[in-house]
Amino acid sequence: MMLEVSDITMRFGGLVAISDASLSVPKGGLVGLIGPNGAGKTTLFTIIAGFQMPTAGRVRFDGADITSQPAHVRAQHGIARTFQIVQPFAGLNVRENIAVGSYLRHPRRADAHAKAEAVAAQVGLAAELDKPAASLTVAGRKRLELARALATEPKLLLLDEVLAGLNPSEIRDIIPVIEGIRASGVTILMIEHVMQAVMSLCEQVYVLAQGRMIAHGPPREVCADAQVIEAYLGKGAAGRINGGEAAHA
């Protein structure tokens, strides 16, 4: 396994944000993490990436226990993440923004910029390299966020709602980019609310609700699970949906 998260609990004072959550991502896989807002998904990403230490539980990456390692060490080992709220360096152009990531492996400026240009081509930003990052559209900023993480040359890429805020055509355009990243050998764990993308991209999906993993399996099976429907749509929803299907049968 590329990533094994075991029995993670995260407390903030008296609040239990995550309780005994476990998941695994196979090497080369593309796995989804879904759940209602406030379920603890981004907190779990923050723990996997090393920005916070869990109250309890273990994180293993590529066979090694990394639970106590800080974020910069995990980045060197090959873990990169995107952020839900995209904040490019507004005073830099697109090339320079991506190079911030590529400097991790390429300390020489020329090498870092060459890597940045290759990554820009991979995510569809080749024509925007000399533009100020602040001038990009929402879709462009999402691609830039993806590019900055990809420029660190990760083994594992954590995507936190990279499709949020995009319209249907923009989503259709970026799905092949994500597929291409996976095809290049990068393992992906993605938080996503756009179920069209989850269905088409992910082989396995985990569902987090109120800090607990309530289901996992192939996307279609998970989305038909009564407990998952309740978590997303509220108490009694599964019964109403199933009743409606019976009535139309």
For residue 85, name the pLDDT band (cuts at 50, 70, 90): confident
Q: State whether CATH 3.40.50.300 applies to domain 1-78+154-218.
A: yes
- pLDDT tens for each residue of 111-131: 999 999 999 999 999 999 999
- pLDDT tens for each residue of 130-155: 999 999 999 999 999 999 999 999 99
- pLDDT tens for each residue of 25-49: 999 999 999 999 889 999 999 999 9
Strands 3-12 and 56-61: antiparallel
Report the b/e string of 180-214 with b at 16+ CB within 10 A.
Answer: ebbeeebbbbbbbebeebbeebbebbbbbbebbbb
pTM of this structure: 0.91
Query: In this structure, how many other beta carbons lie within 10 angstroms of the beta carbon of residue 76?
Result: 12
Tokens of 2: 């590329």
- pLDDT tens for each residue of 187-208: 999 999 888 888 889 999 999 9
- pLDDT tens for each residue of 198-237: 888 999 999 999 999 999 999 989 888 888 888 876 666 5
> Under a CB-based contact definition with an 8 Å cutoff, are residues 28 and 159 in contact?
no
- pLDDT tens for each residue of 154-187: 999 999 999 998 999 999 999 999 999 999 999 9
Tokens of 227: 């407990």
